[in-house]
């Protein structure tokens, strides 16, 4: 039986843009597990109330409900040990750093470039909630937060130096093949591709070559998803 994934959607039900849900999508694909996704919007709290919290991703696997992308990755490795996402405890420990860097450096940098694009793509019923909750967090309007995007892009690209230097010397963060660390970081780039026309990376950036490898992975799962060319 397929695993059910509650997956953040924009106004168009097939525009799936959550960086956290993309981690889980790729983790499920890595395992070769069948998935059925359910589009979920920010104001659909009641649809995932059974999980006891209010954020996606949430998966339901038979009788088991699991939420939080990291907990889901652990669950998948424990339950389906073939094709591990993180093969050894030291790999998992290093992936924790990657996750924290992604959540506290990469995602905030991306937010300043695309939060307005997220807002304009949302279902109208989600917009007041999104504006109020995000503006309380950032302390200004979404429009002010995202102003002067071109000027911010150069600094954002510069902030990717450690990622670029790593991917100059190896095809994936996991080495010769992708592991969950790759999916964590890639989720951020896929968030952008699904919701914004901004060109995050120069064409000759080694990070762009890595992103393309992951867009092509699993029969083009990420590249076939609704988004913008990059
Ligand atoms: N730590 C969680 C974060 C999940 C998360 O923040 N999900 C967002 C979508 S990208 C969400 O559901 N937000 C609901 C809200 O802001 O009300 C994870 O890794 O799964």
Ligand 1 within 6 A of 8 CB?
A: yes
Note if the pTM is more than 0.85.
yes
Distance set, CA 130 to CA 27, 42, 138 (Å): 27, 8, 12
Protein residue with least CA distance to atom 6, ligand 1: 55
Query: What average pLDDT does range 81-86 have in this prediction?
Result: 98
Q: How far away, in angstroms, is 19 Cα from ligand 1 center?
A: 9
| Ligand 1 near 57 CB (within 6 A) | yes
Q: How far is the CA of 73 from the centre of ligand 1 (A)?
A: 15
For position 80, what pLDDT does the model report? 98
Handedness of CA 13, 6, 34, 118 (dihedral sign): positive
Nearest protein CA to atom 20 of ligand 1, as residue: 68
- Give the pLDDT confidence of 5-45 residue by residue, as tens digits: 999 999 999 999 999 999 999 999 999 999 999 999 999 99
Compute the distance from residue 203 Cα to the ligand 1 centre, in Å: 30
> Could you tell me the sign of the dihedral formed by the alpha carbons of 29, 32, 37, 41, in that order?
negative
56 lines ligand 1 (CB under 6 A): yes
Residues 6+ apart with CB under 8 A from 218: 26, 29, 30
Find all residues with CB under 8 Å of 12, minimum gap 6, and list them.
Answer: 121, 226
How would residue 203 be classed by pLDDT, with cut points 50, 70 and 90? very high
- 179/46 Cα distance (integer angstroms): 33
Mutation test residue for ligand 1: of 55, 69, 99, the one with most atoms within 8 Å of CB: 55
């Amino acid at each position: 039986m397929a695993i059910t994934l509650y997956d953040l959607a924009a106004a168009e039900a097939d525009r799936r843009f959550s960086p956290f849900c993309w981690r889980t999508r790729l983790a499920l694909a890595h395992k070769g597990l069948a998935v059925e996704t359910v589009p979920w919007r920010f104001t659909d709290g009641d649809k995932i109330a059974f999980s006891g919290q209010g954020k996606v991703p949430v998966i339901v696997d038979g009788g088991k409900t699991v939420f939080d992308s990291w907990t889901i990755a652990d669950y998948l490795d424990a339950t389906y040990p073939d094709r591990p996402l993180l093969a050894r405890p030291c790999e998992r420990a290093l992936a924790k750093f990657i996750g924290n860097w992604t959540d506290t450096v990469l995602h905030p940098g991306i937010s300043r470039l695309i939060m307005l694009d997220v807002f304009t793509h949302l279902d109208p019923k989600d917009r007041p909630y999104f504006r109020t909750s995000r503006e309380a967090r950032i302390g200004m309007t979404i429009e002010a937060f995202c102003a002067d995007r071109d000027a911010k892009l150069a600094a954002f690209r510069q902030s990717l130096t450690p990622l670029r230097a790593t991917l100059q010397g190896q095809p994936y963060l996991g080495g010769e093949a992708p592991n969950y660390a790759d999916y964590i970081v890639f989720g951020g780039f896929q968030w952008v591709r699904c919701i914004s026309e901004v060109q995050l990376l120069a064409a000759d950036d080694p990070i762009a070559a890595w992103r393309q490898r992951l867009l092509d992975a699993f029969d083009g799962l990420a590249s076939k998803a609704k988004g913008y060319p990059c």
